[in-house]
Structure 1
Amino acid sequence: MYGAESAKFYHAQHTARGKDYRAEAETVVEQIQARLPGAASVLDVACGTGGHLPAFAELIGHTEGIDLSEPMLDIARTDLPHVPLHVGDMRSFDLGRTFDAVTCLFASIGYVSSRAELHETVRRLALHTNPSGVVVVEPWWFPETFIDRWVSSDVIEWEDTTVARATHTVREGNTSRMEVHYLQASPAGGVRYFTEVHRAMLFSREEYVEAFEEAGLRAEYVPEVQSRRGLFIGTRR
């Protein structure tokens, strides 16, 4: 989960690296509408700063978001004052209502820590979906597609701040461990350094399908979209 410091420039940093939230949202909506024409409501789970929500609201209609990180939601609330946003854990949340579609994007599903938690999370997504509704999950890399010892770096300008970011990602058993280092410089704050560690599970394609099927969802996998990680689409039986 991203902390208070990185949340401030999370959206700007990923956009600068080429992440196109609008195009990704359009791809997801296309998949939803192909299976449920007329879908009119969507819940985005692990919505972060809400990068996909404006397009969802425009293309689908009623849109809500939920995330575990208060700092991320604080930013989303400022940018999207009319979108209902909730604090909650994707493994255990219960909003007491359902939607035509439920999404969990940007590989957020990888933050669960076991197969049991994967199953419980997908079950939660399904429980918040209307009959014949659609669940869309963007996975983290599969074990065979993950690149061990991956290094990336970038420098962005955000408002009056310059941020240099460098990452190193390694495989540790059935998880990936990404160490992120930030160097932040601004006129008021000077130069600051901080670091974060993100761990994500390397589930197989079969493990995702198993979780979907157990949750009562008919599972499909659409390859090569969303940064080439693909999408799992589940339709409620």
Structure 2
Amino acid sequence: MGRVRGVSQPGWQQTVAHFVECTIAIMNLHSDSKSRPLLYGELAQYYDLIHARHDYRSQASAIHDVLSENGVPDGSKILEAACGTGNYLIELQRHYTVSGFDLSEEMLRQARRKLTGMSLFEADIKSFKCTSPVSAILCLCSSVAYLRSYDELRDAFSSCACALNRGGLLVIRPWLEPDQVVEGMMWMDYFEGEEIKLCRQAVLRRHDRDSILDFHWLVAKPETGVTHYLDRHVLRLFEHREIERALTTCGLNCRQIDVRGFDRSLWIAHRD
């Protein structure tokens, strides 16, 4: 992490110091590619701000339609896996009895501030358990891409299948497939407020079956100046047939559908 405060140092010294700190951060990231992304830890406090332009309401409305069309009526018990800061749950609680879990306690802390009284718990999608079955499970933020192998993918779907009622529905938003990835794809998000300004950028790199996004963050505050963070996300490129096989192996009858407001097809899978 590098920090720039005012102009107290000569320009060249400031630049060298910043370069050294960033280089150390990059070396640390390469030495521990399995470390948790900062977005789900130290930077969780900025998650909602950097995603402020995301239309959760419209997407949640589309998911409500999908659930209704697939036998999940209003009033049903719904669970969101990898719920993050709870932005979909805020919208879906209008129609359902909702709960959620996430692997990041920092993300859940942000969610609890907005969803007081809701059941939100820390758990791993590969091994979570529910006290009672639910009518639908949602995983809408491409979180399955953080799983590292087909076996982990199958374990996650097995846990979901065990938590569903007979006839229950699993809805998965996947990440990109291998043939959809183009080296050099670029991302940029930003937020402008009175007391804070944020920007993050990344250029996708591919290594075998992984897509690697090194997000460079700039966090500007009046009291601290501009702070730089480097946040690595390693996302697995599962093939269509791998997801389909993992779902069917777990007793889930699956297909892909196009849903308004989502940039790629979603998987829906009924428990037999």
Q: TM-score, normalised by structure 2?
A: 0.82
Which amino acid letter does the alignment assign opposite residue 103 of structure 2? Answer: L
**Could you tell me which residue of structure 2 aligns to residue 10 of structure 1?**
47
Counterpart selection for 1:93 from 128, 137, 150: 128
Deviates more, 1:4-13 or 1:99-108: 4-13
Matched, 1:173 2:208: yes
Q: Which of the two has greater strand per residue? A: 1
Which amino acid letter does the alignment assign opposite residue 101 of structure 1? Answer: A
| TM-aligned CA deviation for residue 224 of structure 1 | 6.1
**Could you tell me which residue of structure 2 aligns to residue 188 of structure 1?**
223
**Identity rate of aligned residues, in percent?**
29
Question: Superposed, which structure 2 residues align to 1:113-152 within 5 Å?
Answer: 113-152=148-187
Measured in 2, the distance between the counterparts of 1:159 and 1:206 equals 48
Bigger radius of gyration:
2
Deviates more, 1:151-160 or 1:62-71: 151-160
Measured in 2, the distance between the counterparts of 1:88 and 1:171 equals 29
Q: Secondary structure at the match of 1:8?
A: helix
Give aligned pairs, total: 234
Residues 75-102 of structure 1 show CA distances to partners (whole Å, capped at 9, x for unaligned) of 0000111211000111111133211000
Which amino acid letter does the alignment assign opposite residue 33 of structure 1? Answer: S
Structure 2 vs 1, CA of residues 158 and 89 (structure 1 numbering), >3 Å: closer, same or farther?
farther
| TM-aligned CA deviation for residue 158 of structure 1 | 4.3
Residues 17-48 of structure 1 show CA distances to partners (whole Å, capped at 9, x for unaligned) of xx211111122221121111425110000000
Measured in 1, the distance between the counterparts of 2:260 and 2:241 equals 18
Deviates more, 1:182-191 or 1:71-80: 182-191
Which amino acid letter does the alignment assign opposite residue 71 of structure 2? Answer: L
Judge conservation of contact 2:59–2:262 (CA < 8 Å) in 1: no
Judge conservation of contact 1:213–1:219 (CA < 8 Å) in 2: yes
Counterpart selection for 2:64 from 10, 15, 29: 29
Measured in 2, the distance between the counterparts of 1:205 and 1:33 equals 25
**Could you tell me which residue of structure 2 aligns to residue 199 of structure 1?**
234
**Could you tell me which residue of structure 2 aligns to residue 43 of structure 1?**
79
Measured in 2, the distance between the counterparts of 1:3 and 1:232 equals 25
Runs of 4+ in structure 1 over 4 Å off: none
Which 5+ residue runs of structure 2 have no aligned equivalent? Answer: 1-36
Q: TM-score, normalised by structure 1?
A: 0.93
